[in-house]
Chains A and B, each alone.
Chain A
Amino acid sequence: MTYFPDEVVEHIFDFLSSHRDRNNVSTVCKAWYLVEQLSRLRVFVGNCYAVRPERVMARFPGMKCLTVKGKPHFADFNLVPHDWGGDALPWIETAARCCPGLEELRLKRMVVSDESLELLARAFPNFKSLVLISCEGFSTDGLAEIATHCRGLRELDLQENEVEDHGRQWLSCFPDSCTSLVSLNFACLKGEVNTSALERLVARCQNLRCLKLNRAISIESLIKILARAPNLVELGTGSFTADHRTEAYQNLLNAFYKCNSIRNLSGFWDAAPRYLQAIYSICSSLTVLNLSYAPAIQVNDLIKMIRHCFKLQKLWVLDSIGDKGLAAVACACKELQELRVFPSDVYGTGIAAVTEEGLVAISSGCPKLNSLLYFCHQMTNAALITVAKNCPHFTRFRLCILDPVKPDPISNEPLDEGFGAIVKSCKDLKRLSLSGLLTDKVFLYIGMYASRLEMLSIAFAGESDKGMVYVLNGCKNLKKLEIRDSPFGDAALLENVGKYETMRSLWMSSCDVTQGGCKALAAKMPRLNVEVINEREESDEMVENPSDMHRVEKMYVYRTLTGPRDDAPDFVWTF
């Protein structure tokens, strides 16, 4: 056997950036395992309950960057009770003890308290980057701690978190000596901030390249900020509306004229049409445009803006853009790779906005499209078949028809053939979300063709257990399966129990799985946590001691090295 010194092996491993590759090489032999574990700097934990923090940090003592994900995906849609778990504190406490050299922390769907943030701020002298996505549990007091104590902070990125507003002074807590910020995103904060402190901060952080303001920031402040940060690459504009009727338009035009590095724009919360024209000069260099929080922008203004954006690669909009607007996008944005169309009326009672026509137009105009999230009122099989032919490179395809069981309105048939065409044509498909009227057939197609599929979301679909079994038996790379309101029961759940150890997690809610089925699964597979979430409204003799025949409302199954978790609330039972 050829012998390589450890240093050479380590050097080779430096070229492996993906976690999967690193995980794979570490299983080759003991020697490689040891080299890899000491040299891994970036650690990814996809499920915070799959492994204990101590074990992670013991294995990777050189860890500099840690990513942890908490709640299941359906927590985004209020399907997981509020105090289910996902607390970040144990991770931060353990890291404070075992890995004080930590530089970056990324948390998604976790509960982060002000206490955790305070500990984080004080325990890591080299801390550089904090990214929180869809987290909750903290307030602006916690942010004040980060600002005060993290010397050398480069990145504070808050994406779509629920943050309690305890006042506007947290920004003023960045000391005058702080000049290291490269990225600051507080777009999700609801409250006011101290704008003069912000302007001074921006002025002294000459390396600032990403700045995303919240809705409380008006155009007047934006103009002053842009004057101090002409080298920004990413900008979230704030409300984009003026407090006073002044010469804001001319000043805005001048400010944007000087910012020729901007490639990524978002914000526009209350944008009035007259101010939108000020950004036409930078539209032609934009690669990313997020207008999904801008319900005030009317279609015609949107179309005028989009016409300039011929380099656009990523576009997020509201469905008020309509099929007409999407046709304009298809004409103008030939480099488009990712499109997300969100519903502007989330209560589903509005006027029809986008349909299959818009999607077909996009697919024929934008051949590079590989990622789609599309909320629409209707879809046809013919349209999906056309889209599959035009865009065979999809890696992410998420379609949400607002009426969850709507058939093809023209043929009145289920959408099995349409989705079948997508999975057959898009061989690199990694993520798929289904909707509309669907029978077991669509799952047969998915099992047959979607060999690279890693995540599948199912809602109100299927006819029998066979549907779920097709998927479990067919998709060999499946990592996450989440199902709601579909007629899959114990037979499907128990058909291929070994499969769940090859996956990160399985979620089933409002299906036909029973208590007995869950117990059976838990008994057969000790290395899975089979959690049943029982929300009780009134105390009920039957519910407190349910029989095995009792249908389970919510079930979350995941592989784990730790056994049942010790922080489970009383409404979560682990079998």
Chain B
Amino acid sequence: MSTTETAHSSTESDASGLDYEETQLTLAPPGATRSDPERKRGPSDDHRPSDSSEGSANKPPEAKAQVVGWPPVRSFRRSALKSFTYVKVAVDGAPYLRKVDLEAYTGYQQLLTALEEMFSCFTARNYPNERRLVDPVSGTEFVPTYEDKDGDWMLVGDVPWKMFVASCKRLRLMKSSEAVNLGEKKQVRLREACPMLALGEFGKKEIKFSFFFWHPTWPVLIGTTCVGRCEFRWCPPWPGLADKDACDRL
């Protein structure tokens, strides 16, 4: 079990520079032998009764998955919850969508390989911090993006694989030309609630925010604060927002 997880962590290090296992909260001091990251509570694996007379008491963790009908969950419910890991995949310009089961893959590389095969016209090209797929005929590059649980469109590859599987609702292979600014952030200084200046052409996707500014000539800008810096993106006018007063009240 530990060898497989080491293999995972090396894949994820390639992906995001962030080792999933290293960021897991554990009870051990840093650098100590890693205990099972899946058990945040309760005893460590060593705490099983080793002198029990029952043969079945010392089942190794892997055996759990193979016990038929355990845990006792109706097959309807099992298959319904399983289907939550199937996500739709759309490709800009392709006439129909496909579906993939994210749990069938162990990492981003496998997923991209599968997408490559599925849409059969791409070859993968690896950039240092991104992955792109290329249509060899037209030379168009595609960037894999996904919609997460909050409804936001994100670049594939930023978060650890497991986190991605848990939050991805659907995939879209976006033409590079459209996606070029998805990852860009510009640093600006906030000037006491005065109208902000547009800082140039940004990506078109909406992102959720907590305050608005209105300027008579610039389109509405919306922004949010996070610790240490502000990120601002260009956004089409928010539907229903007719005037500056309404905006200020929000």
Contacts and interface: CB of A to CB of B under 8 A. Distances in A.
Contacts of B200: none
Q: 4 closest A-B pairs (Cβ-Cβ)?
A: A77-B69, A160-B76, A76-B74, A79-B69
6 contacts: A162-B76, A296-B169, A351-B40, A378-B42, A400-B72, A403-B64
A76 B206 contact: no
Contact of B71 (A245, A274, A400): A400
Contact of B84 (A188, A295, A412): A295
B65 to A, nearest CB: 6
Contact of A295 (B57, B67, B71, B81): B81
Nearest to B70: A404
B81 A298 contact: no
Nearest to B149: A296
B120 to A, nearest CB: 27
A134 B79 CA distance: 13
Nearest to A292: B77
B38 A402 contact: no
Interface of B: 38-43, 47, 49, 52-54, 56-57, 59, 64-65, 67-78, 80-82, 84, 149-151, 169, 206, 239-240
A543 B84 CA distance: 41
A348 B151 contact: no
Contacts of B47: 409, 412
B85 to A, nearest CB: 10
B68 A343 contact: no
Contacts of A394: none
A349 B103 CA distance: 13
A129 interface: no
Nearest to A294: B84
Contact of B76 (A161, A295, A405, A460): A161
Interface in A270-287: 270, 272-274
Contact of A343 (B56, B67, B73): B73
Contacts of B38: 349-352
Interface string A448-487: 0000000001011001000000000000000000001100
Given A405-B54, A405-B56, A78 B42 contact: no
A22 to B, nearest CB: 31
A360 interface: no
A37 B198 CA distance: 84
Interface in A338-374: 342-344, 346-352, 355
Given A77-B69, A273-B149, A298-B149, 18 more contacts: A77-B74, A77-B75, A78-B69, A247-B240, A274-B151, A293-B81, A295-B81, A343-B73, A352-B41, A355-B42, A375-B71, A377-B41, A377-B42, A409-B43, A412-B49, A433-B72, A459-B70, A460-B56
B142 to A, nearest CB: 22
A352 B81 contact: no
A481 B65 CA distance: 25
Interface in A302-356: 342-344, 346-352, 355
Given A346-B81, A378-B42, A405 B240 contact: no
A323 B38 CA distance: 16
Contacts of A274: 150-151
Interface of A: 74, 76-79, 134, 160-162, 188, 245-247, 250, 270, 272-274, 292-293, 295-296, 298, 342-344, 346-352, 355, 375, 377-378, 400, 402-405, 407, 409, 412, 433, 437, 457, 459-460, 463, 484-485
Nearest to B53: A463
Contacts of B80: 293
Nearest to B75: A78
> Of B42, B67, B70, which is in contact with the most chain A CB atoms at under 10 Å from its CB?
B70
B74 A272 contact: no
Contacts of A409: 42-43, 47
A272 B151 contact: yes
A74 B70 CA distance: 11
Contacts of B78: 346
> Of B72, B78, B80, which is in contact with the most chain A CB atoms at under 10 Å from its CB?
B72
A79 B68 contact: yes
Nearest to A357: B41
> Of B39, B52, B81, which is in contact with the most chain A CB atoms at under 10 Å from its CB?
B81
Contacts of A460: 56
B34 to A, nearest CB: 15
B74 A134 contact: yes
> Of A274, A293, A405, which is in contact with the most chain B CB atoms at under 10 Å from its CB?
A405
Nearest to A75: B75
A270 to B, nearest CB: 7
B97 to A, nearest CB: 13
B42 A134 contact: no
Contacts of A355: 41-42
> Of A246, A347, A355, which is in contact with the most chain B CB atoms at under 10 Å from its CB?
A347
A351 B38 CA distance: 5
A403 B38 CA distance: 14
A77 B72 CA distance: 6
Given A377-B41, A409-B47, A76 B240 contact: no
Contact of B72 (A161, A272, A459): A459
Contacts of B72: 76-77, 400, 433, 457, 459
Contacts of B64: 348-349, 402-403
Contacts of A347: 65
Contacts of A346: 71, 73, 77-78, 81-82
B67 to A, nearest CB: 7
A268 B212 CA distance: 31
Contact of B54 (A161, A293, A457, A463): A463
Contacts of A161: 76
A298 B167 CA distance: 11
Nearest to B167: A296
> Of A377, A404, A409, which is in contact with the most chain B CB atoms at under 10 Å from its CB?
A404
